[in-house]
Amino acid sequence: MTQDTPIERHVLQDGDVRIAVLSMGCAVQDWQVGDTHVVLGYANPEDYRTNPVAMGTVCGRVVNRIRNARFDIDGTTYRLPANSGPNHIHGGPGGLGLSNWQMDRDGARAVLLRHHSTDLDQGYPGAVDFSVEMRLDGHRLTYIMTGTPSQKTPINLAQHIYFNLMGNGTVRDHVLRIDADTYTPNAADNMPMGRIDPVDGTRYDFRTPKRLEDADQERAGWDGNLLLNQTTQPKAEVTAPNGMRLRLWSQERGLQLYTSNTLGPHGSPLPGPPHAPFAGICLEAQGMPVAFGTDALEQSLCEPGRDYFQKLEIEIAPDA
């Protein structure tokens, strides 16, 4: 599909849950539980064509940052557009989150989105056929993300929804738990330092639930990657004062925690909080950030016969 193709919209509904999905970037435009809007979004779908903060989208080909907007595969250097200082982030200025996907509706409970990314799209080698299925079952939304490449290429996708379970105000009163014993600390430029540290004694220790306000006395927020424990329990849980609870399941290695530290106004927001710092929390399940180093790049490589696959489940419901 071309970028000037009209943006399609489909609403998934089951009981008191309504989720609006757009073809532009596979974006979750809105998510309502009863009368509460639990995500940030733009009221006008056209605002997703520019969407500078990846609001609600599926990011890729490679989410997160790539140092100096370049990487090497088998002796060949691939140069990407730099869109975060000297670095590349979230697949580039024309990445998957800013592409208009083909939408196939499957009733009120599911939608399938497909996109063909051409060879050297945003500088990445090989063509890739991507698909994202979203299926609603009760209060749980399941993502199935796949990518079939024509040659060896890195793929690392993530959903980038901004959650606010209150539907107003900031998320500083939300309580967060993350099942992670280690994390990848960042340098001052917000790039991984190339080491794995225990979360003990750091502001990334959410193994027991913590209110964000209490864990962030300096009001700096978070924008960093935790390494998830390989257990069957929810990998992250968020609760809000109104009794709304989010639970997230993933088999991905990493979870980027971002508290919309630099979020500002763009377009026309949905009813709810203004788009400002700490208005939302992102829980971006993904592979190891490619910027971590050579091993992380190797882990992200897909090729013919070795497709990309990710399953992600997010449940938002009033706490019983």
Tell me, yes or no, whether 59 lies in a domain: yes
What is the average pLDDT score of the chain? 96
Closest CA to 5 of 134, 117, 103: 103
pLDDT tens readout for residues 175-199: 999 999 999 999 988 899 999 999 9
Q: Please report where in the chains the tokens 């606010």 appear, as a residue.
A: 164
Q: Please report where in the chains the tokens 């882990």 appear, as a residue.
A: 299
Q: What are the residues facing 238 on neighbouring strands?
A: 176, 246
Query: Left if phi > 0, otherwise alpha if psi is -120 to 50, otherwise beta: which for 171?
Result: alpha
Tell me, yes or no, whether 4 lies in a domain: no
State the CATH number of the domain containing residue 189: 2.70.98.10
Tell me, yes or no, whether 299 lies in a domain: yes
Q: Are 41 and 30 in contact (CB under 8 A)?
A: yes
| Contacts (Cβ under 8 Å, ≥6 apart) of 153 | 61, 73, 124, 125, 126, 128, 301, 302, 303
pLDDT tens readout for residues 305-316: 999 999 999 999
pLDDT tens readout for residues 145-160: 999 999 999 999 999 9
pLDDT number for residue 190? 87
Residue 223 to residue 3: CA distance in whole angstroms: 30
Structure token digits, residue 124: 């990445």
What average pLDDT does this structure show over 164-183? 98
Q: Please report where in the chains the tokens 């995500």 appear, as a residue.
A: 39
From 37, 160, 174, 275, the catalytic residue:
160
pLDDT tens readout for residues 30-50: 999 999 999 999 999 999 999
Q: Please report where in the chains the tokens 């907007």 appear, as a residue.
A: 69
**Is 275 in the active site?**
no
19 pLDDT above the threshold of 70: yes
Tell me, yes or no, whether 180 lies in a domain: yes
Tell me, yes or no, whether 1 lies in a domain: no
Domain total for the chain? 1
- Which pTM value belongs to this model? 0.96
73 pLDDT above the threshold of 60: yes
Q: Are strands 158-160 and 57-59 parallel, antiparallel or unpaired?
A: antiparallel
Structure token digits, residue 136: 């609603």
pLDDT number for residue 320? 66
Residue type, 256: Q
273 pLDDT above the threshold of 90: no
Residue 270 to residue 174: CA distance in whole angstroms: 20
Tell me, yes or no, whether 267 lies in a domain: yes
Closest CA to 114 of 103, 123, 127: 103
- pLDDT category at 227 given cuts 50, 70, 90 is very high
**Is 88 in the active site?**
no
Residue type, 215: A
- pLDDT category at 1 given cuts 50, 70, 90 is low
Tell me, yes or no, whether 139 lies in a domain: yes
- pLDDT category at 4 given cuts 50, 70, 90 is confident
Closest CA to 152 of 298, 309, 311: 298
| Contacts (Cβ under 8 Å, ≥6 apart) of 188 | none
What average pLDDT does this structure show over 9-34? 98
pLDDT number for residue 134? 99
How many CA atoms within 13 Å lie on the side-chain side of 194? Answer: 6
Structure token digits, residue 216: 């962030």
Q: Domain range spanning residue 160?
A: 9-318
From 133, 237, 252, 284, the catalytic residue:
284
Tell me, yes or no, whether 216 lies in a domain: yes
Judging by beta carbons within 10 Å of its beta carbon (0-12, 13-18, 19+), is residue 42 exposed, middle or buried?
buried
pLDDT number for residue 2? 60
Number of H helices, E strands in the chain: 2, 26
Query: Left if phi > 0, otherwise alpha if psi is -120 to 50, otherwise beta: which for 268?
Result: beta
What average pLDDT does this structure show over 101-109? 94
